[in-house]
Structure 1
């Protein structure tokens, strides 16, 4: 390419000329440029006409679609020849800018026009400032391209007009912009245009370079990591650890796994995503975790149930003492399942049996260990899911995969831990499930425990249907009041109310004592605990429905025995030295020695218990009733009903009206313990009558029942637990509502033998027999 010639404004002619004109389509030439031009027929005619004229000059102008160009540039023909391919061409060097006038006639086939060169005025100070600014911008562009020789040439140009016309060589300017520069004769205007365009180009260049730099770094990092990873694989292969790479071949693992069709399709879709995602893609880790979870689940693994009913009952009897109702329910479940399998009916309506058992009872009665025994009886895997304190619905249904650190729910984790699709899952402490802004876990359990829904249980993390119909769910609870009714309705309730004294002794002898002897590093022959000692612990050292405290006291005694002289025999007389003095002794006689105190029976979360109610007559003549003892609204209403009944029947009971004018205070001891319920109604009425008549309540008597304003004794709940508590407290007579008589069928025979149960329908029946005949002086 011919080097551009730098023009000086003093060379610009001022007279018009007649010149042949050449219109160019593909390039725009500005003053001071030289370029080869392909010669077609019209271009050849213009070049020939120029060569025949003086100075070999012609006018070059851009071809416009909508009009003729107003300005062009005067050029001289430097050389005529051919391109390498043989196409005719000419080298043209441009001179000054010229305004195109009217057409004129001339020799040859070329088009001739009148051309008037544009005069150049002396540059002003503002023009030179613009030229200096533009030169800096041009140098910045050239430095990015490392065109150091061109920088020297541009730096040597002093004339602002010549400097502006060097933009004809700028590759970042479009042809339209170069035509605009050609048709802008004012130097200052051209420089302003060029400054704006060059600034825009530099800004775009910076952004492009930054993007290119970031992409280049990312590609280099990816290539480097790929190279290192391949080297690591090669090193592992040389060390004989190549089999670890098989874990990354998820497609082969999915295809080899025994998965349901829908699960396989979903897993293969995720494998395709993983194969498309790069190692730096955060979704790759999430997909791997999801695939590992899906592949770890035992989709096709099921254990075979043991249907030997006699062997099942033997296992239950070996592991647990008593609990006949629970054992019968399990044996019934096995028997029905065996009949279904013998007839080819492994499912009901296309689904599993849907057995959901709720074991409700106080702590320490063996609910959790009973679940383990059920699993052993069925020859199934056992897994425990602790629900106490769970307040997040995602703990049941799982977290959605969009969350960072998402995990499947506890049900899915339990299935994975069990390794089979039909384990025994113990939902422990279902009554202690809470709810807050994160959802209601109890509501989520509805889908898990409902036989009509759990064959298509969908965990949010898996987002796949999971068949839970073959899972035997066993839930445990201490109280039923806190379990939502909808959830409670889906479970079959089996209550474990507690153990009698004989049951506790048998459990201690057959189960607790051997276990604690082993834990104390003793052998059965080294220590003996007599039955009298066991009975004394059950009667005077513990007062609970279960046997947890019993076992702790046995462990304490055996630890001390293990540090003494062996062998040893632990008798009742040795307990004081080993575990201290008795904590519980019958105190009903002491508590009821004065009028106004009666013994009631109640049920708490720890089982049945006795409840003493005290009444006192205060000085004054304004009457009124005050109650204390952390009582709930229902119990306060029972107190109000009791005093209303006494006032209404004072004459019949032999109570003087003057006594009822005094204020009465009703108190239930253990004020730090919240108490509520209607079953203390008869006890409060008896305490008030005892106070006002000055007759004590017999010490051996306990009672329970709701009382109405007419004196009717209404039924209550928890009869078995209350009678067990009466026996533990040393009572011998109990008053029960008549409509609770069928509940006596569930009470153990030894408890009924130890108690005299009076069935009453009116509170007068209790008042006529429960009070002593002897009046106590005030």
Structure 2
């Protein structure tokens, strides 16, 4: 079918998009007047109406007939347009007048198909749903009478919920099916949004009506009370009486009475009244004048600590010293309450399962004080420590104030558990807030944001626990007295299991000591070959597993060494140092992790090829930057002293691969330097490292062995792994005073200051030995 091409002047519209089938009055500005005049000058009753675009012509418009040209009531020129067919705009042409003339090609609508009829039916239902909300019943009848899908789609030109951009998209979409698909999608979205908006409006209206009704009822109640002679300010007299009866500090009493005055002046429907009542309840619930009497019996206190925990002499001595000083101050009439620096802050640091948390409970029992635990693991909001401002919705005091309230006294034992796992983000730094809490020189005037009152924390005994010290900010660590609990020896584990763990697990399994007997040999086997932990948590789980089976009558009631396999399975750990160091290039190092001391087997291997083309040194095992630098230093030392160490220089030209097994576990620290050096020398000289030897220490480029930390934990790990000789830096000799005698007897410690001393004694003998230092 041949398309008819017309030449028409163009009327561009800025704020409206016209679709076929619309009758619209248009105000004629100067360009629009020029288009109308040009059409009339050419004896045309039609013009092309198109949306105005930036920088280019529109692709489509509508041919509109000039139904009437006149003026609005305000005197402005106007034209009444009736839009007809959709038209595709072609090139510009010349014509009479000042208007822009273009060639236009009419776009015939598609013939209806089954798909377009289905879409038209869906769109008609949606449009009727929209019109029903507006109660436009006459328009509903008009829409219902339209059968042609294209005509129905073009009625969207009247839709107020469609933007001009969407209407222009409809104008530029000649395909009827595509237009209906867009309209169905857009109208469904509009109905969904309208439904949500209607629901919100309904909720708001109901809320307003409820508030108005409550206000009317309160005003009526107020009038009734006034007639009865009762005062306003509901409950204020009760709060005033409670404040007068409570033993509050003067500053607290004055602040509370000021809040009562505000409560009396506030209206009943004001939310401020609820905030004031909550604040007054919190203040009155705090034990401002309550203090428990400390137990000054030093012998009895030590007996309580000994009954609850085996060993831990340093911690127990610190608690007894604290009690002794307080008793001495009382005897001399010196203040022990509210004085600057009278508080004590102890940090118990050590691996999991060594009894840090339970020790806090024992300290409270020994002192005769209340015990409260505050879990800090994962806390990232500073308001958890200092409290929220009262202006916030749902404001609460901080955890410290809540702990004091829970204890019911002003001098409890507060355990700050997992202080090393406190984080920080955009909500503040809780660790920084703890500085004021834990500083004895400041915490006598601790100020919670919710209370806005000075709270004396100087008589609170704070005990913090941590697994590692590296994540604790130095300023916070400086406020605390560090007491390390590095772990237990095998004999200590046996004693703890016999005296504490076995009775507790027997009770939990509903079994008595007369019904089941556990031998010391069985406990020693569990501690030696079933666990490799610094604490006793896994040991307790194994005992619980054994007693559950005994309670069910599955096995005899005597738990000895032979019965362990049936009760808890086969041993999980066996000495492996001899197997791991059976080839050159493997050395046993000692390290400290968050779980306590551990043995690391560092492996070195020489690869074929030229190191200049393959990179020289490859390091694997998920090592940190410090440990990688230790590996580089170790290799540099070996290369610099190759002749002295009896190493063939040709071997150093080959690529070296250094690996620390357990690659899934991150590792870092300088203390593996001597172990890496020993592994490299073992590889390059072909001499095995003695199986019974372990070592730790930082190495320098000149071969100096520098001091490290965690000596006690590392020696405990060496004993658990079956090592009998350990090389330590000379400058770590004072740390041996903290090592239990049992460990010092089982493990021979060699103190060295130069790595060549380790290489001389740790490697097995060979025909060409290492030169003496």
Which digits, 9 at most, give the CA deviation of each residue in 1:335-359, with x for residues without a partner? 1111111111124994351211000
Q: Quick one: distance in 2 between partners of 1:215 and 1:712?
A: 80
CA contact (8 A) 1:695 1:775 kept: no
Pair 225,614 (structure 1): closer, same or farther in 2 beyond 3 Å: farther
Question: Shift of the alpha carbon at 1:286?
Answer: 0.7
Matched with 2:216 is: 220
Alignment counterpart, residue 692 of structure 2, candidates 680, 690, 700: 700
1:269 aligned onto 2:258: yes
1:278 aligned onto 2:274: no
Which digits, 9 at most, give the CA deviation of each residue in 1:115-161, with x for residues without a partner? xxxxxxxxxxxxxxxxxxxxxxxxxxxxxxxxxxxxxxxxxxxxxxx
Range moving further from structure 2, 345-354 or 441-450: 345-354
Matched with 2:585 is: 596
CA contact (8 A) 1:362 1:605 kept: yes
Pair 309,608 (structure 1): closer, same or farther in 2 beyond 3 Å: same
Pair 229,316 (structure 1): closer, same or farther in 2 beyond 3 Å: farther
Matched with 1:625 is: 617
Q: Quick one: distance in 1 between partners of 2:337 and 2:214?
A: 59
Matched residue SS, 1:497? coil
1:509 aligned onto 2:505: no
Counting matched residue pairs gives 552
Matched with 2:82 is: none
Alignment counterpart, residue 436 of structure 1, candidates 419, 422, 425: 425
Pair 646,214 (structure 1): closer, same or farther in 2 beyond 3 Å: closer
Which digits, 9 at most, give the CA deviation of each residue in 1:262-318, with x for residues without a partner? 101111111111122222111111111100000000000001111111111111111
Which digits, 9 at most, give the CA deviation of each residue in 1:42-91, with x for residues without a partner? xxxxxxxxxxxxxxxxxxxxxxxxxxxxxxxxxxxxxxxxxxxxxxxxxx
Pair 215,349 (structure 1): closer, same or farther in 2 beyond 3 Å: closer
Q: Quick one: distance in 2 between partners of 1:750 and 1:582?
A: 24
Question: Shift of the alpha carbon at 1:762?
Answer: 0.7
Matched residue SS, 2:684? helix
Q: Quick one: distance in 2 between partners of 1:600 and 1:303?
A: 50
Which TM-score applies when normalising by structure 1? 0.69
Matched residue SS, 1:427? strand
Matched with 1:328 is: 317
CA contact (8 A) 1:337 1:346 kept: no
Matched with 2:65 is: none
Matched with 1:140 is: none
Matched with 1:307 is: 296
Which digits, 9 at most, give the CA deviation of each residue in 1:519-567, with x for residues without a partner? 0001110011111110111011110000000000100000000001687
Q: Quick one: distance in 1 between partners of 2:286 and 2:401?
A: 8
Pair 594,271 (structure 1): closer, same or farther in 2 beyond 3 Å: same
1:734 aligned onto 2:726: yes
Q: Quick one: distance in 1 between partners of 2:649 and 2:345?
A: 58
Paired residues for 1:310-459 under 5 Å:
310-347=299-336, 350-459=339-448
RMSD of the TM alignment (CA)?
A: 2.2
Which TM-score applies when normalising by structure 2? 0.69
Q: Quick one: distance in 1 between partners of 2:417 and 2:747?
A: 34
Matched residue SS, 1:697? coil
Q: Quick one: distance in 1 between partners of 2:348 and 2:211?
A: 63
Paired residues for 1:679-690 under 5 Å:
679-690=671-682
Which digits, 9 at most, give the CA deviation of each residue in 1:363-418, with x for residues without a partner? 00000111111111110000000000000000000000000000000000000000
1:673 aligned onto 2:665: yes
Q: Quick one: distance in 2 between partners of 1:377 and 1:697?
A: 50
Q: Quick one: distance in 1 between partners of 2:493 and 2:268?
A: 62
Matched residue SS, 2:611? coil
Q: Quick one: distance in 2 between partners of 1:295 and 1:493?
A: 36
Pair 673,216 (structure 1): closer, same or farther in 2 beyond 3 Å: closer
Q: Quick one: distance in 2 between partners of 1:360 and 1:492?
A: 10
Q: Quick one: distance in 2 between partners of 1:599 and 1:486?
A: 36
Q: Quick one: distance in 1 between partners of 2:279 and 2:294?
A: 31
1:752 aligned onto 2:748: no
Pair 531,214 (structure 1): closer, same or farther in 2 beyond 3 Å: closer
Matched with 1:660 is: 652
Q: Quick one: distance in 1 between partners of 2:548 and 2:599?
A: 33
5+ long unaligned stretches in structure 2? 1-208, 769-773
5+ long unaligned stretches in structure 1? 1-212, 235-244
CA contact (8 A) 2:350 2:487 kept: yes
Matched with 1:126 is: none
Pair 493,224 (structure 1): closer, same or farther in 2 beyond 3 Å: same
Q: Quick one: distance in 2 between partners of 1:443 and 1:352?
A: 19
Q: Quick one: distance in 2 between partners of 1:361 and 1:561?
A: 33
CA contact (8 A) 2:341 2:441 kept: no
1:561 aligned onto 2:550: yes
Matched with 1:104 is: none
CA contact (8 A) 2:533 2:595 kept: yes
Q: Quick one: distance in 2 between partners of 1:685 and 1:526?
A: 56
Task: Specify the structure having the higher radius of gyration (Cα).
Answer: 1
Matched residue SS, 2:764? strand
Alignment counterpart, residue 714 of structure 1, candidates 678, 700, 706: 706
Q: Quick one: distance in 2 between partners of 1:662 and 1:530?
A: 56
1:644 aligned onto 2:636: yes
